[in-house]
Amino acid sequence: MQLGVGTDPSNPWILQENEFNSRHLGKLEAVMCQGNGYMGVREATEEHYVGEHRDTLIAGTFDKFDGEVNELPNLPDVTEIKIEINGQLLDLNQGEVSDYRRIIDLKSGLLTRSFTWTIAEHAYRFKFERLVSMANRHLIVSRVTITPLDGQAVVKVQSGIDGQQTNSGSQHLVEGDKRLFDGEFMQMLTSTNESKINMAMTTCHKFKTADGHAIKQHMEIGRRQVFFNFTDTIAAQATLQFVKYSTFVTDRDNDFQGQDLTALQEFGLSQLKTACAESFDEQLAATTAAWQRSVWNYGKLQIESSDMDDQVALNFARYQLAVSTPAHDHRMNIGAKGLTGEGYKGHTFWDTEIFMLPYYIFTKPEVAKSLIEYRYLGLAGAHRKSQDNQYAGAQFPWEAAWPSDGESTPVWGAADIITGRAMKIWSGFIEQHITSDVAYGAMEYVNATGDDQFALDKVYEIILDAARFWASRLEYNETADRYEINDVIGPDEYKEHINNNAFTNYTAQWTLQTAIDLYEALKTNEPKKFAELNQKLDLDKYYQLWQAQVDKIYLLQPNADGVIPENDTYLSLKTIDLSKYKTAEHVGGIFNDYNLDQISKIQVTKQADVLLLLYLFEQKFAAQEKRINWDYYEPRTTHDSSLSLSTHAVLASDLKMTDKAYELFQRACQIDIGPDMASSNDGTHSASLGGIWNAVVFGFGGVRLLGETLRIEPHLPEAWTNLSFEIFWQQQRLRITVDKSRLTVKALDATAPVSFEHRGKQYRLSENESVIIDL
């Protein structure tokens, strides 16, 4: 696999940069981003460079200006450390750099950067280490080691808290107090402009010199900045080492119990004092253990491949998901760029339910539950959007921020290349399949886990409320005696204002049918809960409406050639040669030649649309139907969305096109860590990272949730000799191992029998029991 970052042939947990290049700052800042789900810190280097994006983002701390939408504010920075040595400011664009290496250890989250810098005829050895603790989510720790190699050196350092960070020029933070405690603990207070979230950043330094002498720090206070300055003289071959401890706390944190700013200030200070009582190595040991305990012990996955980078890509995907998933707080969800950059303003999309939720459903169900609870907390905002659009029920926002905010999609976007005018972003108005996606993801959780109590408490209400929306949204076509859904955007966002998008119509019909089934089951089996929901949602009325509508929803059928139309007009549009766009180095190349209005009149698809429908509802479609539609739509798909390749990889695997599936899987892996050195400047692609896992487990591993049945029918690519992974199913843990000739399924720590299906045959396992099936 061709990658844009280095790997270590002996260690699949390592990503590395072996040569410094300031033109590629954004790529490495994002893919080597550190975090713990609460906080994400881009890997900007300690020294400053033009073009850097020095982002520190805390989940859920949304803020906005009048007339704009909420975004995660870029918080004060503690990672920049200015170092001047013998009068030379550290800058790797000057002098000579040798033995350069920057490494992110995905297993522990440790970042290490080391190099020898030669300037003005003197050489110096530097080593920078940084961790964002998984053991204490408020904590960042950096260790700096400086060694002059061929003579004495005078080192001047400025290090502290810089509150002059912005979101592309927008400053979301109000300047607050800056204090020094006990002569060593520096603190800055700030708050967001509109949402009034109070924050405290606190930092200190611990020094280690060759002869044990003390280093005196001098505090410097500027506008939105507070720093320590210190100077030391280091003998040749001697070493100066210091550790910087920093904590971030906000009054939105669910582990903060204080009621006022003073309590928050004390909370941040106490967090820091506790942290700096331990050495860097002790903090590293704690965070390494926490990564193992909370991430790597779940969903273990091992690939034996002729290309070791396949395993690296899987480890990277899982690392990035852990960095960006706020598993600690159900009031928050995963942003399209996670916590790795400012792209999409930290907002949550359908990416969660369709591309990332499956990973957590099958590897850590309690996290999936939290992500669904976020949607439940968003019902008030969904009701508000629905009412604003003169519909009923819950119309979920296309872009979501804080749960109660409702729709958070910007109204205007980039300029049209033809007209020069800003283009309206219609997704927040008419990309309505999100409501079905939310319902679908919630029901997948229930079917996979058997969590009946959570279903009663939250999930069923989400689905029933979504069905109320669709009942009010459907449009009756009297001439055809059917219900249609007009003026929408489907998953293919190159087609705006179209009628009867197949994916939208089918998923709306699924939502109504599921609501009918739930109504009947609750009324019979859970009368108390039914009465509660009936009073709240007027279910008796809607049940009659759903029954009248569900079988008359227009579900687009295959034409004479077996092709399911993507929408009412897609198959009548003109065709062009798309080869140069499908093979382009960068996505979106078609916009160099056409604007969106022109693209809407061409048979070109941005990402899986009809094919996504065939993947999610595979039991509704025969294999021949899938193959016909694959052959039609894949050549017309540019894969300009990062969501596309992994979906196609799973479907190709289902169709036993294993070589093609493997090619698409590797291309999906390359979206963030591949050779395009600008692909991740705004942050990594969360949905694609979830999709990589889906391609392995659902595609090559053949795992599929069909209603309440688990199916396992693997198809290994030629390059793989073995695939082993663990999943949760019905609250039991399974280990699935596949080689070229056998499938082995073992029930681990089972407290009840576990059933699955393979090629139509049912298997049943008890605790620690295995079954071996010849392939």
Residue list, annotated binding site for substrate: 350-351, 606-607
For residue 37, give the DSSP letter. S
Q: Is the dihedral of CA 449, 455, 458, 459 positive or negative?
A: positive
Nearest CA to 598 out of 432, 367, 462, 416 is that of 416
For 557, counting Cβ atoms within 10 Å of its Cβ (0-12 exposed, 13-18 middle, 19+ buried), the class is exposed
User: 578: Cβ–Cβ under 8 A, 6 or more apart, which residues?
Assistant: 590, 604, 635, 636, 638
**Structural tokens at position 741:** 């000739």
Which residue numbers belong to the known binding site? Answer: 350-351, 606-607
Helices 658-673, 644-654: axis angle to 10 degrees equals: 160
- What's the number of CA atoms in the CB half-sphere (13 Å) around residue 539? 26
Nearest CA to 513 out of 713, 654, 707, 655 is that of 707
Whole-number Å distance between alpha carbons of 446 and 460:
10
**Structural tokens at position 551:** 């079988």
Sole residue written with tokens 């204090």? 179
| Residue 129 among the catalytic residues | no
Could you give phi then psi for residue 440, rounded to 5 degrees? Answer: -60, -50
Per annotation, catalytic residue among 493, 496, 566, 634? 493
Element (H, E) at 464: helix 460-473
Whole-number Å distance between alpha carbons of 204 and 612:
51
Task: Compute the 3-state secondary structure of the chain and give helix, strand, coil in percent, each to the nearest 5.
Answer: 35, 25, 40
For residue 76, give the DSSP letter. P
For 116, counting Cβ atoms within 10 Å of its Cβ (0-12 exposed, 13-18 middle, 19+ buried), the class is middle
- What's the number of CA atoms in the CB half-sphere (13 Å) around residue 405? 26
Q: Is residue 373 within 8 Å of 348, Cβ to Cβ? A: no
The three-class DSSP label of residue 578 is coil
Nearest CA to 544 out of 461, 468, 455, 436 is that of 468
**How many residues belong to the chain?**
775
Angle at 317 between CA 17 and CA 684, to 5 degrees: 70
Whole-number Å distance between alpha carbons of 19 and 22:
10
Q: What region does 522 belong to: left with phi over 0, alpha with psi -120 to 50, or beta?
A: alpha
Whole-number Å distance between alpha carbons of 140 and 87:
29
Q: Which residues are catalytic?
A: 493
